[in-house]
Amino acid sequence: MINVLFVCLGNICRSPVAEGVFRQLVAEQGLAGQIQCDSAGTAAYHVGELPDRRTRENALGHGLKLTHRARRMIGEDLANFQYVVAMDEANFDAILKLSHRSVGLISEDNIFLLREFDPVVSDEASVPDPYYEGPEAFEQVYQIVLRCCRQLLAYLAHHHNLTLLNDSRTT
């Protein structure tokens, strides 16, 4: 089983969207028995809460129901997930610090920024945090996450010799 963890700060906006979108893409490709995912935050601000209401509303507008409860990332996650995908550079750095304290649990080669998979050329390395923004910011996050998760799935399929039902980079 390939396990992927999506990480942002509070686990109520960006990472739950990434988890939901990625899970849906995996299911559409018939790979749910081979790839699993979850999400977490580097901070414990919202542990136990559903994703932000605006995040859930935006996702629902795209046919995606988010029911994940926020949780904080722990060192054990580095043993349970082969891939950890950060939404921004600050959380990427926090994951690296945790991995240095949990030596040997995950290769730094398997810790990514989600935007590394963005097919749209951009100088921005982070998925923007929509928390203090309006509805258009939540839609922007959804669109960034969707296109990056498509590429992430193609990357994993290639590296693990999995067959995609269709090319997820173009659907």
Q: Is 129 a catalytic residue?
A: yes
Q: Cα separation of 154 and 22, whole Å?
A: 11
Q: Is 14 a catalytic residue?
A: yes
> Angle between the 53-61 and 135-159 helix axes, to the nearest 10 degrees?
70
Q: Is 8 a catalytic residue?
A: yes
Tell me which of 8, 13, 37, 149 is the catalytic residue: 8
Tell me which of 13, 14, 38, 118 is the catalytic residue: 14
Tell me which of 23, 129, 148, 150 is the catalytic residue: 129
Q: Catalytic residue positions?
A: 8, 14, 129
